[in-house]
Structure 1
Amino acid sequence: MARPRKPLLSRARIVECALALVDAEGLPAVSTRRLAAELGVSGPSLYNHFRTKDEILDAVADTVCAQVDVSMFEDGTEWRAALLGWARSYRAALSAHPNIVPYLAQGPGRRPSQLAMADAVFGGMVRAGWPKPHATHIGALMRYFVAGSALGSFARGFVDDAALYGQEYPHLGEAHLLAGHQRDVDEGAFETGLRALVDGLALRGPAHRA
């Protein structure tokens, strides 16, 4: 029997296509009509795999979160090192797909990977000796920080035009150079903030909490 000319439609193909659209054009680009056209299928065929567009976006968001490493919360890693490792992995996953971050920021909902991540972080903090309310606060704090850092680039927000800043903004005389050092600036800012957060938590850690 001859092979079909086009790969059979599957959840994985739909999610892959939707993620590519989100990455290239943002969340508004995703619709069942657009996906069907991109995949070369009829619109109703998508409903054999997903009931709604939101279900597709949930699957896309969950695919991104599935890339985040949470193993450090299960293998006995000290809690500060675990938070550092997780936050870096989390930011790497979100920074690769920044357009999905606003959708992820709504919370885990029913998404398995996000729920598993929340469970791992909360469980890891409780096992380290944090009271449950504090463990919840730490998980929320880290999510706010990581998601915010992945939404955009601080360095790219300054245009490469030295004349723009001039004498009116005397402390921004080198701001036009920031975009050329985007990685150093953005990653340096993230690491500075991350270290400050974890060091601050350590001052109120299980052995020193108020």
Structure 2
Amino acid sequence: MTPDKQAFPSVWTRPRKERREQPVLSRGQIVKAALELLDAEGLEALSMRKLGARLNAGATSMYSHVANKDELIELVVDEVFGEIEIPGEGESVEWRAAVRRCARSLRAAFLRHPWVASVLGEAGLAYLGPNMMRFSDAMLGVFEDAGFSLEQADQAVTTVGAYTMGVAITEAAWLTTVNRSGQSEQEWMERLLPAAEEAARDAYPRLQRLYAAQRERAAKGGALDDSFDDGLASVLDGLEARLKAGGA
């Protein structure tokens, strides 16, 4: 299949070229270097030229594996999904516990690689990558084993994924801002929340009480983790209620 007849422009739908000689670089080396560059310098720093310089390789060596930057992003996003912990085949785990573990692992991966949030909408057919398909199939299996139909399981996976990634994207943006300030998260919160309380005083009493409560939780540490777990529990409560009612 030639590139112009390719049904979808994606690294996962383009057949690999046959090579008579062993290439100087492997796809794995290219993806590893791109991931390191993104983690160290952010999405703005990623270019095929800069990546080639980092690998001390010419364009020919790279383009034999990756046609363009879009394909590179698909590969690196799939690499991140390979870090996510999923239930093993035949593993006996209560479904809510299994979903919590996967969701926490997904959130942690996004926080380790905060640039992921800004490329998900541009990652083409990233969902056809082997690691993302492995994650999706395992999650579908967890919900099917719990009693959801395949279609209901798909809706459940979408709901849990939307909550988890939505929270992680917001947290990643927050942590990026904190890191740029040169302060710790605790130091930033100790300055921000009292200011927020003061801004809400008198005119917005509910927000004032909320900020005060958040300040107390932040002083104890683990506030973001607790907030994520509480929200996830609400999502799972809803899915469990639908399952019990027969309308999942």
Is the counterpart of residue 59 in structure 1 residue 75 in structure 2?
yes
Instruction: Give me the whole-angstrom Cα distance separating, in 1, the residues matched to 2:128 and 2:96.
Output: 28
Is the counterpart of residue 111 in structure 1 residue 129 in structure 2?
yes
Unpaired segments ≥5 residues, structure 1:
1-7
Per the alignment, residue 184 of structure 1 pairs with: 222
Per the alignment, residue 169 of structure 1 pairs with: 200
Per the alignment, residue 41 of structure 1 pairs with: 57
Query: Per-residue deviation at 1:164?
Result: 4.3
Per the alignment, residue 208 of structure 1 pairs with: 245
Query: Per-residue deviation at 1:192?
Result: 0.8
For the 8 Å contact 1:74–1:120, the answer to whether it is kept is no
Question: For the aligned residues, what is the CA RMSD?
Answer: 3.0
Instruction: Give me the whole-angstrom Cα distance separating, in 2, the residues matched to 1:176 and 1:199.
Output: 24
Choose which of 106, 128, 137 in structure 1 pairs with 2:146. 128
1:87-166 matched pairs, under 5 angstroms: 87-104=103-120, 108-153=126-171, 160=191, 164-165=195-196
Query: Per-residue deviation at 1:190?
Result: 0.5
TM-score (norm 2): 0.69
Is the counterpart of residue 19 in structure 1 residue 35 in structure 2?
yes
For the 8 Å contact 1:70–1:120, the answer to whether it is kept is yes
What secondary structure, in the 3-state scheme, does the structure 2 residue paired with 1:137 have? helix
Query: Per-residue deviation at 1:96?
Result: 0.9
Per the alignment, residue 233 of structure 2 pairs with: 195
Instruction: Give me the whole-angstrom Cα distance separating, in 1, the residues matched to 2:26 and 2:221.
Output: 37
Instruction: Give me the whole-angstrom Cα distance separating, in 2, the residues matched to 1:69 and 1:87.
Output: 9
Structure with greater helix share of residues: 2
Letter paired with 1:193: G
Q: Runs of at least 4 residues of structure 1 off by over 6 A?
A: none
For the 8 Å contact 1:32–1:53, the answer to whether it is kept is yes
Unpaired segments ≥5 residues, structure 2:
1-23, 179-187, 202-207
Instruction: Give me the whole-angstrom Cα distance separating, in 2, the residues matched to 1:30 and 1:87.
Output: 28
Letter paired with 2:118: P
Query: Per-residue deviation at 1:74?
Result: 3.8
Instruction: Give me the whole-angstrom Cα distance separating, in 2, the residues matched to 1:104 and 1:132.
Output: 25
Choose which of 81, 99, 103 in structure 1 pairs with 2:97. 81
1:86-125 CA distance string (max 9 Å, x none) = 1112112221112113334557432111111111111221
TM-score (norm 1): 0.80
Cα distance change of structure 1 residues 169 and 70 upon mapping to structure 2, 3 Å threshold: same
Letter paired with 2:200: Y
What is the total number of aligned residue pairs between the two structures?
202
> Aligned residues: percent identity?
30
